[in-house]
Amino acid sequence: MLIKYATLPVDDAERAIAFYTAKLRLTLVSDVGWEGHRRLELAFPNGEVGLLLEQRTQPSAGQVPALVVSVPDLEAACERLESLGVEFVTPPRDSPRRANVRFAIFRDSEGNLIRIETAL
């Protein structure tokens, strides 16, 4: 079995598209609307797992990252994101639970927590 996609809730589809395409370099694959709903599918560069953005129907828990993304160079990724205005709620640090892993956490345009990490 393989994971095909992960889903994140959004409040503003256009704002989310702008955030994920401009700041995280995802590509919009499809934009489907029906009966007042909208479903956006995005693709990661060189990735097999897609990301679906769907209208938020419930308040977000907000305490646990909704998405974890692996990057080859955490420091470079954080610097690039900060230069684009992304604010980190947890700056880069060593993981207390996983040896040889560094991570950082930021909020996307919709308030979802996103964790980026790299293996050392």
**pLDDT less than 50: residues of the chain:** none
CA distances from 38 to 9, 12, 14, 111 (A): 11, 10, 11, 18
pLDDT, residue 62, reads 64
Q: Name the phi and psi angles at 99, rounded to 5.
A: -65, 145
Q: What percent of the chain has pLDDT over 70?
A: 97
The tens digit of pLDDT for each residue in 24-54 reads 999 999 999 888 889 999 999 888 889 999 9
The whole-model pTM stands at 0.86
Nearest alpha carbon to residue 39 among 30, 26, 50: 30
pLDDT, residue 64, reads 83
Tell me the fold of 5-119.
2,3-Dihydroxybiphenyl 1,2-Dioxygenase; domain 1 (3.10.180)
